[in-house]
Chain A
Amino acid sequence: MSLRLEDISLSVGGEAYIYPTDLTFEKGSMNVLLGATGAGKTTLMRIMAGLTPPSSGKIQWDDNDVTGVRVQNRDVSFVYQQFINYPTLSVYENIASPLRIKGARDAEIDHAVKDAARLMKLEEYLERTPLELSGGQQQRCALARALVKGAGLVLLDEPLANLDYKLREELRSEIPAIFERSGSIFVYATTDPEEALLLGGNTACLHEGRIIAYGKTGEIYHNPQSILAANVFSSPPMNFAWLTKYGSEVRIGGALTAMGGFRDLEDGVYKAGFRPNHMGIEPELNSVAFEAHLKSKEITGSETFLHLDHEDDHWIGLIHGVHDLPLDQDHRVYVASEHIYLFGVDGELKRPAPYMEGWF
């Protein structure tokens, strides 16, 4: 079982929605489509499902061309971000509906529905109609229907986006386990980088209709191949500063450093990037010190977000613990050189942050 998109593209009225894309998903894999709203995640999934025909390219399912095959005849299930169920049918009939269409025997249907309902904790509600359920239960009903079908390709379009925090956490940890057992190909769209990391598997980063990075989720996160990919897969976004190197003199933003970490670098101009959580307010070994102007701060339960201006760049720092730093003053912040990614002026990765060396 495998799904292969070959040179798939979509344009509507001369406007490109999806630029030519090649992707391959293997049997039993979890694949995350990560991107901001409007990046093309839903459109790409609709193409995979056969709900939207692509303008060009081919979709191969197990080496069969299924590009023109009707949705009904594809081995696929789809869960929407909105809670979509059949309002006039009971929850039981909602879950049973794919099996009824297949013409399964009543006993078989009953067994499968009860199983799915147990997994999704819907056993008590089988006789109700979907609109008599809470939002989370409605979405679980939709997920149960997708599960019962046992499709080879399961498409989940931000299934947890409209759920409350606790339910999201709960379902997020359940979903991969549930579908892993089915051995299906799993495609999960999300706008949340953290969700992508928690789900694992592979991640494809989408930006304005283009796949800008694809690979193992951890690898894509820790080794972003471009500034764009680093920004898509980072929340809050990565911080940047210009880095110039001439001989032994290295200048990052407004800071001069003679650190060994940049010794092997060719002379030239780079864009240095580091993640908010790698910023500190205490000096560490091999850290570069920056003077930055603190504009505002947000304190969550256990972390402090700093919004800083450093020269022309706006930085965000994510510091562990609660820190009461005075606003509208210059502060000294530190970034260890091993946490600094270097990108070329064109935005391509020149040197990954050394701390990840040997991980992949």
Chain B
Amino acid sequence: MKINRSNIIISLYILFLMVPIYWLLNMSLKTNQEILSGFSLWPQDLTFDNYITIFTDPSWYDGYINSITYVVMNTVISVAVALPAAYAFSRYRFLGDKHLFFWLLTNRMAPPAVFALPFFQLYSSVGLFDTHIAVALAHTLFNVPLAVWILEGFMSGVPKEIDETAYVDGYSFPRFFTKIFMPLIASGIGVVAFFCFMFSWVELLISRTLTSVDAKSIAATMTRTVSASGLDWGVLAAAGVLTIIPGALVIYFVRNHIARGFALGRV
């Protein structure tokens, strides 16, 4: 293969991107002593103890279970709410529809930190503090508008005549929506699920504010490992590696549709 300049640049770029991930993996397979003692490109004293700690210590693996629980709840709620909303925006004209559609996104213009305090106070006073649903609901504030935008783009790509043909054929609305329409925008739904999943999975501040023990997320767990003996570097790195995996899995399934998702379905 001819080695030309663009190949070298791309290789360097990929290498540059891979370095932090490799270093994380590298650290997770070292002992704390080795991490702190000096520089080594690969583990001199290979150990899986860090991973064993995470899979055996409930205070660690509960973090994953909690995170996955509220992330899945959030994804399901967001998609379920966004589907009919996006359908309405794509198919009907109503008073103020354009404005409403635009202002939906303003929720995303504010940093999540802005909402941490009101959510904390509200959920504490109604007894939702430290529950999975609390975090899931809080995340829908950010995910539903984006989901509506992306789904609206995908839905607008489906000719309205298909809806009408289905009605003429005798389909009721729910049957048409589930049997004909949803399969048509399946890739859109996949992309939306991915976006919801990723936002909720990586979001730290709100999940940390709204949980303490029972629903503590993995990200929060990771920030609270500072003990009297200092940071447990190896375990923390192992937790980081395990945190990347679900995202990588999800991205693998929607990889072919992700570009259209970033274009909000409007391609």
Contacts and interface: CB of A to CB of B under 8 A. Distances in A.
Interface residues of A, number: 23
A334 B251 CA distance: 77
A101 interface: yes
Interface stretch (A55-63, A70-78, A116-124, A238-246): A70-78
A71 B171 CA distance: 9
Chief secondary structure at chain B's binding surface: helix
A280 B165 CA distance: 49
Nearest to A86: B180
Given A72-B172, A101-B171, A86 B161 contact: no
Nearest to B167: A71
A95 to B, nearest CB: 10
Contact of A86 (B166, B167, B168, B186): B166
A102 B170 contact: yes
A178 B88 CA distance: 39
Nearest to A70: B167
Nearest to B184: A88
Central interface residue in B169, B172, B184, by most chain A CB within 10 Å: B169
Contacts of A80: 161, 165
Contacts, number: 52
B164 to A, nearest CB: 5
A71 to B, nearest CB: 4
B159 interface: yes
Contacts of B186: 88
Interface string B21-63: 0000000000000000000000000000000000000000000
A49 interface: yes
Contact of B169 (A51, A88, A149): A149
A234 interface: no
A89 B171 CA distance: 15
A280 to B, nearest CB: 47
Sorting the interface of chain B by its residue count into under 10, 10 to 19, 20 to 34 or 35 or more gives: 10 to 19
A267 to B, nearest CB: 56
A70 B170 CA distance: 10
Contacts of A49: 168
Contacts of B175: 101
B168 A87 contact: no
B113 interface: no
B159 A71 contact: no
A71 B164 contact: yes
B162 interface: yes
Given A71-B164, A80-B161, A86-B162, A145 B169 contact: yes
Give the 4 A-B CB pairs with smallest separation, nearest first: A101-B170, A88-B183, A98-B169, A71-B167
Interface of B: 159, 161-162, 164-172, 175, 180, 183-184, 186
Interface of A: 49, 51, 70-72, 76-78, 80, 82, 84-89, 97-98, 101-102, 142, 145, 149
6 contacts: A51-B164, A72-B171, A84-B161, A86-B180, A102-B170, A149-B169
